[in-house]
């Protein structure tokens, strides 16, 4: 620690940071704009000015900008003297000369960093007498609204978009006081991280469009800490509600995972909770029914054998309750055979190696990606990997005595000090474009190369039955040996366990305790199911046989994916009774449908790719008759006098889980008992709470809440987020209404070495490590002439987010990518519509040279499954069929538009008259 | 006095390679090749050549920060700053039009001294004639084996390219220039790292002014003692001084360092008939006003500094008594506001603000509090508060103008109009 | 469903001429990376076409392997890249200090009057564009202008009239 003097007071601060960071850490109100903890300093806005003095006797000092000044032992600075306070006031005055002062109609109002800074500097009267400039705004697509007149030219947007996230279609244009931030022309922003602009922009230039369409001020939002449901990373989010509908998702800082940024699937995919497809009532054979109906009760009480099918889309608690109710031997985890194999292997690897967190991945200095399109399957992780590519430049900068947070300098150095990134796989994305080594191959040869690489690194590592070692692999072995923090990444996208085995072998072959491994499963809570699976389960391969024994009842936890619909087909018909616990209305043949709450309405826990247990809390109340799935299961248990029926509340259930799955983190169990002083989910300024129902009742209602929950749906309680392990509901501190308040109170920033995190992980890696052998079945040749590989997209490959309207607007039609060679051979042209073999869906041809020979890459949205894994021929679609299909696409577009309007109307209507039962204490 | 910069300069018909060589051209470069790069650096350091781009930093010293030797990066760059967009400055243009080989030779010497393998001339786009003549000189030198691989068997190789800018004053700032040469928006870069270590394409880079580089052939050919003897002042060598405005014969002269502005004004034949001098900017638009009583101060870095201004580029701009000082300052500030790169707040938003106020004052719509605001804006854009030196430079004529011509400002406000326009 | 994949990929070879491409390639050789030639390339294409339209901008970006947004940022930064059509002739009148001291405003007003356009505009017949320019480095021969790249110094009303006559004659004949 260093001692520095600010306004003649001595403070202890950590070395290596800049003065602005240090001041914020000391909880001082030093205004700033262009600095960002994840993006470093560039010194453009000059807002963070302070005065530095040579020694005690220096009374004049010289002005510095804090964000560009490293802290140094004994340094003397001031922040409250007239020189700097006047200058900081002038900066704001100058920034505001052309600002439209349109706060009342601005979606940023009430959580605007510019508002906060204006107040903080004391600027309150306008001195500039000239005219204001007016800019033209651009249409940037369904996610983001553009209002350039509010710009204060801090350059954060382009620095995030281009430099941090690698986007290329947003730039700084023009110059002097006409600088403009936009695209070359109108059009949807291409980066899958564009949504972060909303939070990165300190004023209202980039705002959340869907939120703006159904808007509420931040101070009127009820906000709950939550966890993203759309991939296995498990980014931490804040969910905000008003009048019973969820309005938006914002980033919730988690230093280990998402840091300050989310991907757009996570930010905009939550809309499924507001969807009109939601199942909110009990149905029997498609007709509305009641819990007390005889037939319903009769079915649920059935004494015949029950089989349960779990779901990755439901919480650990829900799946646990199901496993309890039907018994482990009757609990099928709801994955297909291949995925079960993958899960087994994943759990095996987790028991040996701890997976790197995103923050750790950012520290890598050599990266190997084996057969996984991380950018599309775990987007936020790809963003973390991209940051690692700066590490060698940072090290070189430090050698030149330039601190790593000098962002522009580090980026100038970067081209000459690259971090090796080797990609074995297919398809191109933002990450592969940055690869220093890109071997185009299918998943099988990626796995083979991985095995070879491991074998080169350690002769003990089992060899696959392949002959040739590519030069790339030779070279890579040397790189990995000399790297300090090598990182191996793979995932489930290719459905190939060989990849996982290869990655684990490479990890083991590296004699380096700082080497890292990260494997990304296909969906959010898969590892949660893996944990339950280890307590016993019914393999999906045995399901048909069990069902064929007759009089078997099936209980199915919500399953929305189309892939599962296929399986369902085989189950249906064989089952005696079928009971489904659904978030979305499903097909009527199912005997009984019980409406299940979404993650935004109840508490629950998920387990991410690392085995990290994370909980979410309800932001709004469950609609209609719906309950948390575990509550239905408890109710069913009561009907049957099953011991699960003794569970009273979530805390009870968690205690039971803890008895079965040690070791569970203590605070997870205690969360439900923390109730002494709960945390408020509404900010102190929440307005009109008492008037919300005034048109319906004169009683002042009591806000609803979960029993014993640590978060309360009211503004009474304490402010969360200011102690280390407390998830924040909403970010706020006095004077800081925007999310920039997150940047205060931070002792450690992501850029610095983070403390160990194993305490939060559910699975402790053991000291025994083993090699994975190459399995003969991995070498099996496939029959069809062309192998078909599945391609993921941020928008489209996740079924839950497909129910969100903005995502629907962004989903691309199905496509078939081939390389130029194969295209020429098959006579395919880019843009052409084709079908594989006979009956596949129409696919649009893309010529993409990162597809291996004799291979085709097919993308289709999750609600339009494409199940072929190989094909012999590709036939052009007849002209009339193309026309029909294009017309259909047009029509779908119109339907989405209609749905958007209808949903908005529906929700607006609801705002006017909230169902009274929404609030407890009113009958 | 010898005039190493202009003795053989012919603006209409510049020397070709042979003519240039016949008057001793490229001797300096040959001499340099005979000694080690560090010896060349030492000679230039000893000659105490100060950069002619405005800041007046010791050139040899600047070079000495470039990493040398085996471990140094493979590529290093030398850039000639020939962007010359400072209003009132036109010396580099004359040198390049009239003596292109002098610059090419100077660049070879500098490039050799720092071990650069590639050199660029960053030329302002409007200087079309310069471009033609420089390109011809480069081609001739290449043909003669003075440029290219393994120059004259010494093992030293150098490529020299001409880049024409698309126009932007900030490109003259050395780090912005580097960005411009990389094909980017010309925003300045933060220092450290200094370009000597991390410059063009992330490699060690020296940026020198055109006139600075033109001094090198003489130093290498005739030695340090001779070079120092050229000067009449503590600053060594000769300097191209110029004057413009309403003088009888505006122009440029190579003179010993340290002559006085009065001598320069005399060379120009004094003010035009019927006009008297009200004030002058000693070295381009971004220097503080000096008054007639300062005419006898030597035009050297320290002396002009003590008088409250900067030697800058040595291009004097003379304000006569029939032009309005407020109007002049407005014209200058408009230039700077227009040319702000838009990176940092004080410059981007402060300069247009000053222009807005000055415009109103000039039109007779100013008020007393406008003077206050202007004064505050001067502080707002001063050194240390902005990202680069553009805005502080812009403030220099404004703040000194407000001091020396306070009465004129007052009259504009009191009489609601410009006394110079009737 | 609105992002159907673009059917045809832009190929700069179909937009830029061989001459333009070879000049651009020549510039590219001078730099470590292709995008560094952005400003040169813009100037080259502008010298052939008078200004940079969107299509040319996209083609240059493609040729230099950079994004068109980034190239737009560059193109709009520099004073002498035109992103709007200009006339057959372009007059750049210096408006900086030495010319101001030589009352360039009289010349400016005269030009504006005679052409019937403001600075920043082009005559209706598309013949002449009138633009201001910062100091042209002709301070000793003020006022000055740059006409189609050539410097014209020591301007006065008479010489301006002569120039305009010539330009108009040129366009007629
Ligand atoms: C806004 C600004 C514009 C400048 N313009 C020029 C210029 O046109 N020509 C030049 O030689 N130096 C210019 N300079 C100075 C350069 O940054 C740099 O100091 C100079 O090229 C160094 O060369 P020297 O050491 O040979 O003087 C400018 C500086 C600033 C801040
Ligand atoms: S002072 Fe700031 S805005 Fe002005 S030119 Fe320099 S960096 Fe750009
Ligand atoms: S935050 Fe320090 S200059 Fe912008």
Measured from the alpha carbon of residue B349, the closest ligand is 2
Name the neighbours of A, counting chains with at least 3 Cβ pairs within 8 A. B, C
The DSSP-derived string for chain C is ---PPPSS---GGGTS-HHHHHHHHHHHTTSSSGGGGHHHHHHHHHHHHSS--HHHHHHHHHHTTS-HHHHHHHHTTSTT--SS---SEEEEEE-SHHHHHTTHHHHHHHHHHHHT--TT-B-TTS-EEEEEES--S-GGG-S-EEETTEEE-S--HHHHHHHHHHHHHHHH-
* B340: chain A residues, CB-CB within 8 Å: 175-177
> Is residue A781 predicted with pLDDT exceeding 80?
no
Residue whose token pair is 């296995």 = A232
- CB contact (8 A) between residue B349 and residue A177: yes
**Are B344 and A127 within 8 A, CB to CB?**
no
pLDDT of residue A616: 93
Distance CA A868, CA A812 (A): 19
C91-96 average pLDDT score: 96
Candidates B87, B139, B343: best to mutate against C (most CBs of C within 10 A) is B87
How many CB contacts within 8 angstroms connect chain A with chain C? 68
Partner-chain residue, chosen from A169, A174, A896, that has the shortest CB–CB distance to C67: A169
> Which residue has tokens 């320019």?
C133
Q: Residue C79 has which token pair?
A: 């004073």
Cβ of A405: how many Cβ atoms within 10 Å? 25
**Which pLDDT does position A470 carry in this prediction?**
84
Nearest to A120 by CA among A221, A224, A32: A32
Q: What is the mean predicted confidence (pLDDT) over A532-555?
A: 91
Distance CA A892, CA A885 (A): 10
Phi and psi, residue A807, nearest 5°: -70, -40
- The helix-helix angle for B100-114 and B216-229 (nearest 10°) equals 90
Q: What is the pLDDT of residue A563?
A: 67
Q: Which residue has the tokens 């498990």?
A: A234
Q: In terms of pTM, does the model score above 0.90?
A: yes
Angle, CA of A869, A503 and A468, to the nearest 5°? 75
Confidence band, pLDDT 50/70/90 cuts, at residue B297: very high
d(CA B277, CA B294): 12
**A835 with A842: CB under 8 angstroms?**
yes
Listed residue (A840, A852, A868) closest to A782, CA to CA: A868
Give contacts of B317 with chain C, Cβ < 8 Å: 97-98, 101, 139
Flag whether residue A42 sits within 8 Å of chain B, measured between CB atoms. Answer: yes
3-state secondary structure of A587: coil
pLDDT digits (tens, 9 = 90+) for A228-246: 999 999 999 999 999 889 9
* pLDDT band at C4; cut points 50, 70, 90: very low
Q: Are the C-beta atoms of residues C9 and A830 closer than 8 Å to each other?
A: yes
Query: pLDDT band at A465, cuts 50/70/90?
Result: confident
For the ranges A747-761, B128-142, B144-158, which has the lowest average pLDDT? Answer: A747-761
Please compute the mean of the pLDDT values over residues C126-152 and round it to a whole number: 94
The secondary element (H helix, E strand) that includes residue B162 is: strand B159-164
Q: Of A617-626, A855-864, B277-286, which has the strongest mean pLDDT? A: B277-286
Verify whether ligand 2 is closer than 6 Å to residue B381 (CB atom): no
| pLDDT tens figures, B253-267 | 999 999 999 999 999
Q: Least CA distance to C138: which residue of chain B?
A: B90
Q: Which atom of ligand 3 is nearest to the CA of A66?
A: 2
Q: CA of C4, closest CA in chain A: separation in Å?
A: 6
* Per-residue model confidence (pLDDT) at position B410: 97
B414 vs chain C: nearest CA distance in angstroms? 25
Beta strand pairing status for A366-370 and A331-332? unpaired
Distance CA A58, CA A857 (A): 68
Q: Is C68 on the interface with B (CB under 8 A)?
A: no
Over range A599-617, report the average pLDDT: 93
pLDDT at B62: 97
CB B83 within 8 A of CB B276: no
pLDDT of C172:
42
Q: Point out the least confidently predicted range of A198-212, A669-683, C20-34.
A: A669-683
pLDDT digits (tens, 9 = 90+) for A711-759: 888 888 777 665 556 678 888 888 999 999 887 766 666 555 555 555 5
- Per-residue pLDDT, A726: 67
Q: How far apart are CA A41 and CA A24, in angstroms?
A: 14
Q: Which residue in the block uniquely carries the two structure tokens 């003519």?
A: B19
Inter-chain residue contact C134 with B246, CB threshold 8 Å: no
The percentage of chain A sitting over the pLDDT mark of 70, rounded to a whole number, equals: 95
Pairwise CB contact (< 8 Å): B331 & C139: no
The partner residue sitting opposite B346, judged by closest CB among A46, A129, A416, is A46
Confidence (pLDDT) at A560: 73
CB-CB neighbors (< 8 A) of B244 in chain C: 98, 101, 139-140, 142
ipTM of model over 0.90: yes
Residue with tokens 């005399």, as numbered in its chain: B266
Tell whether the model's pLDDT for residue A866 goes beyond 60. Answer: yes
Partners of A491 in the beta sheet? A520
Task: Give Dmax over CA atoms of chain B in angstroms.
Answer: 74
Return the residue of C nearest to A807 by Cα.
C1
Could you tell me the CA-to-CA distances from B49 to B61, B62, B224, B242, C131 in Å, in that order? 9, 11, 10, 19, 40
CB atoms within 10 A of CB A54: 11
Whether the Cβ atoms of residue C76 and residue A175 lie closer than 8 Å to each other? yes
Which of A173, A815, A831 comes nearest C72 by C-beta? Answer: A173
For ligand 1, atom 7: residue with the closest CA: B172
What residues of A are in contact with residue C57 (Cβ under 8 Å)?
A: 184
Asked if pLDDT for residue A922 goes beyond 60, the answer is: no
Residue A811 is nearest to which of C1, C54, C66, comparing CB atoms? C1
Q: Is A612 in the pocket of ligand 3 (CB under 6 A)?
A: no
Q: Angle CA(A134)–CA(A137)–CA(A141) in degrees, nearest 5? A: 170
pLDDT tier at C169 (50, 70, 90 boundaries)? confident
| A150 shares contact with chain C (CB less than 8 Å) | no
- Please choose, from the candidates A159, A186, A160, A284, the residue with its C-alpha nearest in 3D space to the C-alpha of residue A625: A284
Q: Which atom of ligand 1 is nearest to the CA of B57?
A: 25
Tokens of A738: 């925007």
**Cβ-contact A223, A614 below 8 angstroms:** no
Q: How far is the CA of B344 from the centre of ligand 3 (A)?
A: 9
pLDDT tens for B379-422 read 999 999 999 999 999 999 999 999 999 999 999 999 999 988 75
> Is any atom of ligand 3 closer than 6 Å to the C-beta of A555?
no
pLDDT tens-digit series, residues A646-672: 999 888 899 999 988 877 777 677 655
Give the separation between CA A64 and CA A77, rounded to whole angstroms.
9
- Mean pLDDT over C21-42 rounds to 97
Q: How far apart are the first and last CA of chain C?
A: 55
Which chains touch C (3+ CB pairs under 8 A)? A, B
Per DSSP, A862 falls in state T
Angle between helices A497-509 and A337-350 (to 10 degrees): 10
Query: Does residue B331 sit at the C interface (CB-CB below 8 Å)?
Result: yes
Question: Chain A interface, mutation test: which of C1, C38, C58, C82, most A Cβ atoms within 10 Å?
Answer: C1
B255 CB-side CA count, 13 A: 22
Ligand 3 centre to CA of C120 (Å) is 36
State how far residue C74 is from chain B, nearest Cα, in angstroms.
5
Is pLDDT at A706 greater than 90 in this prediction?
Answer: no
Chain B residues within 8 A of A415 when measuring between CB atoms: 201-202
In percent, the amount of chain A with pLDDT more than 90 equals 71
A464 by DSSP, 3-state: which?
coil
When the pLDDT of each residue in chain B is averaged and rounded to a whole number, the result is 96
pLDDT > 50? residue C5: no
- Residue A34 C-alpha to ligand 3 middle, in angstroms? 5
Q: Is A159 at the interface with chain B, CB within 8 A?
A: no
Put simply, the answer to whether B344 touches A45 (Cβ < 8 Å) is yes
Q: Mean pLDDT throughout A582-587?
A: 84
CA distance A623 to A583: 11
Give yes or no for residue B158 CB within 6 A of ligand 2: no
Q: What is the 3-state secondary structure (H, E, C) of A531-571?
A: HHHCCCCCCHHHHHHHHHCCCEEEEEECCCCHHHHHHHHHH
pLDDT above 70 coverage of chain B, percent: 100
Interface touch B344/A43, C-beta < 8 Å? yes
User: Are B348 and A174 within 8 A, CB to CB?
Assistant: no
Distance from CA of A807 to the nearest CA of C (A): 10
If contacts are CB pairs under 8 Å, which of residues 2-31 in chain C contact chain B? Answer: 30-31
Give residue C9's pLDDT: 65
Q: How far is the first Cα of chain B from the last one, in angstroms, to the nearest whole number?
A: 48
Taking CB atoms and an 8 Å cutoff, what residues of chain C touch A168?
66-67, 69-70
CA distance A900 to A151: 29
**Ramachandran region of residue C96, left (φ > 0), alpha (ψ -120 to 50) or beta?**
beta
Confidence of residue A377 (pLDDT cuts 50, 70, 90): very high
CB atoms within 10 A of CB A12: 10
Max CA pair span of chain C? 64
Mean pLDDT within C105-132: 95
Q: Tell if the CB–CB gap between B387 and A402 is shorter than 8 Å.
A: no
Handedness of CA C158, C163, C168, C169 (dihedral sign): positive
- Distance between CA atoms of C79 and A484, rounded to whole angstroms? 48
Mean pLDDT within A366-390: 96
Residues contacting residue A556 through CB under 8 Å, at least 6 positions apart: A308, A309, A311, A334, A568, A571, A578, A579, A580, A581
Residue A828 vs residues A118, A442, A633, A695, B52: alpha-carbon distances, Å? 59, 21, 53, 64, 63
User: Which residues, 6+ apart, have CB-to-CB distance to A740 below 8 Å?
Assistant: A113, A116, A202
Q: B189-222: per-residue pLDDT in tens?
A: 999 999 999 999 999 999 999 999 999 999 999 9
Amino acid C171: pLDDT: 46
Helix (H), strand (E) at residue A50: strand A49-53
């Amino acid at each position: 620690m260093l001692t520095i003097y600010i306004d003649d007071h001595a403070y202890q601060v950590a070395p290596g940071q800049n003065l602005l960071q240090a001041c914020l850490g000391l909880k001082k109100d030093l205004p700033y704009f262009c600095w960002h903890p994840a993006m470093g300093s560039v010194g453009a806005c000059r807002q963070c000015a302070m005065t530095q003095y040579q020694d005690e006797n220096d009374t004049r000092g010289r002005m510095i900008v804090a964000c560009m000044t490293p802290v140094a032992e004994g340094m003397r600075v001031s922040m409250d003297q007239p020189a700097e306070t006047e200058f900081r006031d002038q900066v704001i005055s100058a920034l505001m000369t052309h600002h439209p002062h349109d706060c009342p109609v601005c979606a940023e109002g009430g959580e605007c960093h510019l508002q906060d800074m204006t107040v903080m500097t004391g600027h309150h009267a306008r001195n500039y007498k000239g005219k204001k400039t007016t800019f033209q705004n651009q249409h940037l697509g369904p996610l983001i609204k553009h209002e350039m007149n509010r710009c204060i030219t801090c350059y954060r947007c382009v620095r995030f978009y281009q430099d941090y996230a690698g986007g290329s279609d947003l730039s700084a244009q023009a110059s002097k006081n006409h600088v403009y931030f936009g695209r070359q022309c109108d059009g949807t922003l291409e980066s899958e991280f564009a949504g972060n602009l909303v939070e990165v922009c300190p004023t209202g230039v980039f705002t959340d469009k869907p939120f703006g369409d159904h808007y509420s001020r931040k101070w009127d939002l009820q906000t709950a800490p939550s966890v993203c449901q759309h991939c296995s990373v498990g980014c931490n989010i804040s969910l905000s509600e008003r009048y019973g509908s969820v309005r938006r998702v914002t980033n919730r800082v988690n230093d280990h995972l998402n840091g300050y940024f989310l991907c757009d699937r996570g930010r905009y995919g939550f809309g499924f909770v507001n969807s009109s497809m939601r199942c909110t009532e009990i149905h029997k054979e498609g007709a509305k029914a009641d819990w007390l109906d005889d037939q319903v009760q009769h079915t649920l009480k059935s004494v015949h054998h029950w089989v349960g099918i779990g779901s990755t889309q439901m919480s650990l608690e829900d799946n646990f309750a199901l496993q309890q109710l039907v018994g482990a031997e009757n609990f099928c985890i709801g994955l297909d055979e291949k995925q079960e194999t993958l899960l087994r292997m994943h759990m095996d690897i987790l028991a040996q190696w701890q997976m790197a967190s995103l923050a750790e991945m950012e520290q890598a200095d050599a990266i190997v990606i084996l057969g996984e399109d991380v950018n599309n399957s775990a987007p936020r992780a790809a963003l973390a990997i991209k940051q690692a590519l700066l590490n060698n430049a940072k090290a070189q900068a430090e050698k030149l005595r330039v601190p790593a947070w000098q962002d522009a300098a580090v980026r100038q150095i970067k081209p000459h000090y690259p971090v090796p990134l080797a990609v074995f796989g297919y398809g191109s994305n933002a990450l592969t474009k940055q690869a220093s080594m890109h071997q185009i191959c299918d998943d099988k040869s990626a796995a083979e190369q991985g095995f070879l690489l491991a074998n080169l690194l350690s002769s003990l590592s089992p060899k696959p039955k392949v002959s040739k070692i590519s030069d790339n692999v030779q070279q890579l072995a040397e790189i990995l040996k000399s790297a300090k923090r090598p990182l191996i990444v793979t995932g489930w996208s290719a459905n190939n366990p060989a990849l996982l085995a290869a990655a684990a072998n490479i990890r083991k072959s590296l004699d380096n305790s700082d080497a890292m491994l990260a494997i990304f499963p296909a969906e959010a809570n898969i590892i949660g199911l893996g944990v339950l699976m280890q307590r016993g389960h019914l393999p999906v391969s045995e399901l048909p046989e069990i069902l064929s024994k007759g009089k078997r009842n099936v209980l199915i936890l919500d399953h929305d994916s189309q892939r599962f619909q296929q399986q369902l087909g085989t189950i249906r018909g064989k089952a005696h009774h079928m009971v489904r616990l659904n978030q979305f209305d499903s097909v009527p043949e199912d005997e009984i449908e019980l409406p299940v709450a979404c993650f935004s309405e109840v508490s629950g826990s998920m387990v991410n790719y690392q085995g990290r247990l994370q909980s979410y809390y309800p932001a709004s109340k469950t609609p209609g008759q719906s309950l948390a799935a575990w509550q239905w299961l408890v109710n069913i248990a009561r009907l049957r006098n099953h011991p699960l029926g003794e569970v009273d509340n979530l805390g009870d259930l968690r205690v039971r889980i803890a008895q079965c799955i040690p070791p569970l983190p203590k605070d997870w169990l205690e969360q439900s008992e923390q109730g002494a002083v709960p945390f408020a989910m509404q900010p102190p300024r929440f307005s009109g709470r008492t008037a919300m129902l005034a048109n319906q009742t004169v009683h002042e209602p009591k806000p609803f809440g979960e029993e014993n929950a640590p978060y309360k749906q009211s503004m009474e309680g304490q402010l969360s987020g200011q102690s280390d392990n407390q998830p924040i509901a909403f970010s706020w501190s006095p004077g800081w209404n925007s999310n920039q308040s997150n940047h205060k109170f931070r002792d450690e920033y992501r850029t610095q070495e983070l403390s160990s995190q194993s305490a939060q992980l559910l699975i402790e890696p053991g000291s025994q490590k083993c090699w994975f052998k190459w399995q003969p079945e991995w070498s099996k040749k496939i029959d069809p002439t062309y192998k078909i590989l599945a391609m993921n997209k941020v928008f489209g490959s996740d079924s839950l987010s497909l129910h969100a309207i903005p995502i629907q607007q962004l989903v691309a039609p199905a496509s078939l990518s081939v390389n130029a060679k194969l295209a020429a051979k098959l006579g395919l042209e880019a843009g052409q519509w084709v079908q594989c073999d006979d009956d596949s869906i129409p696919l649009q041809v893309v010529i993409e040279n990162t597809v291996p020979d004799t291979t085709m890459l097919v993308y289709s949205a999750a609600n339009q499954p494409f199940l072929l894994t190989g094909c012999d021929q590709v036939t052009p679609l007849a002209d009339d069929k193309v026309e029909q299909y294009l017309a259909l696409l047009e029509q779908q577009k119109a339907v989405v538009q209609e749905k958007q309007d209808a949903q908005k109307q529906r929700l607006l209507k609801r705002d006017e008259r909230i169902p009274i039962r929404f609030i407890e204490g009113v009958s | 006095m010898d005039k190493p910069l202009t003795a053989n300069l012919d603006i209409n018909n510049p020397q070709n390679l042979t003519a240039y060589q016949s008057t001793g051209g490229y001797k300096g470069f040959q001499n340099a090749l005979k000694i080690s790069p560090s010896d060349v650096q030492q000679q230039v350091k000893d000659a105490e050549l100060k950069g002619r781009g405005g800041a007046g930093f010791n050139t040899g010293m600047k070079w000495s920060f470039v990493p040398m030797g085996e471990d140094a990066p493979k590529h290093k760059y030398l850039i000639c700053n020939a962007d010359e967009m400072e209003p009132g400055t036109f010396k580099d243009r004359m040198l390049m039009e009239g003596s292109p080989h002098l610059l090419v030779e100077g660049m070879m010497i500098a490039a050799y001294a720092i071990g650069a393998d590639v050199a660029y001339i960053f030329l302002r786009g409007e200087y079309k004639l310069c471009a033609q003549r420089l390109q011809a000189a480069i081609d001739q030198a290449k043909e003669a084996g003075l440029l290219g691989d393994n120059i004259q068997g010494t093992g030293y190789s150098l490529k020299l390219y001409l880049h024409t800018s698309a126009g932007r004053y900030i490109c003259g700032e050395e780090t912005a220039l580097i960005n411009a040469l990389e094909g980017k928006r010309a925003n300045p870069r933060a220092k450290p790292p200094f370009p000597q270590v991390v410059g063009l394409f992330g490699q060690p880079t020296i940026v020198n002014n055109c006139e600075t580089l033109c001094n090198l052939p003489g130093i290498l050919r005739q030695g340090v003692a001779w070079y120092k003897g050229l000067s009449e002042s503590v600053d060594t060598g000769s300097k191209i001084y110029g004057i413009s405005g309403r003088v009888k014969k505006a122009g440029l002269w190579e003179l010993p360092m340290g002559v006085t502005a009065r001598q320069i004004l005399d060379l120009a034949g004094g003010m035009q008939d019927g006009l008297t001098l009200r004030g002058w900017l000693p070295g381009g638009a971004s220097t503080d006003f000096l008054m007639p009583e300062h005419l006898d101060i030597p035009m050297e870095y320290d002396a002009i500094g003590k008088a409250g201004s900067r030697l800058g580029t040595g291009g004097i701009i003379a304000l006569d008594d029939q032009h309005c000082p407020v109007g002049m300052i407005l014209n200058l500030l408009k230039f700077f506001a227009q040319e702000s790169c838009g990176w940092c707040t004080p410059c981007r938003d402060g300069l247009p603000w000053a222009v807005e106020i000055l415009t109103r004052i000039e039109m007779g719509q100013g008020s007393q509090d406008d003077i206050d605001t202007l004064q505050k804006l001067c502080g707002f854009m001063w050194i240390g508060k902005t990202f680069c030196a553009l805005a502080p430079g812009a403030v220099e004529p404004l703040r000194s103008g407000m001091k020396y011509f306070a009465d004129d400002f007052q009259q504009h406000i009191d009489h609601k109009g410009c006394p110079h326009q009737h | 469903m609105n992002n159907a994949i673009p059917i045809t990929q832009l190929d700069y070879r179909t937009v830029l001429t061989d001459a333009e491409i070879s000049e651009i390639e020549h510039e590219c050789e001078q730099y470590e990376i292709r995008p560094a030639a952005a400003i040169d390339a813009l100037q080259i294409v502008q010298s052939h076409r008078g200004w940079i339209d969107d299509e040319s901008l996209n083609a240059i970006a493609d040729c230099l392997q950079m994004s068109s947004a980034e190239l737009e940022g560059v193109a709009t930064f520099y004073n002498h890249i035109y992103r709007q059509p200009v006339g057959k002739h372009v007059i750049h009148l210096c408006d900086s200090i030495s010319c101001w001291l030589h009352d360039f405003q009289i010349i400016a007003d005269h030009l504006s009057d005679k052409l019937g356009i403001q600075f920043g505009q082009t005559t209706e017949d598309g013949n002449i564009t009138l633009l201001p320019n910062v100091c042209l480095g002709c301070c000793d021969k003020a006022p000055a202008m740059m006409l189609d790249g050539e410097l014209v110094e020591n301007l006065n009303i008479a010489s301006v009239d002569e120039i305009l006559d010539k330009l108009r004659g040129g366009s007629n004949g």
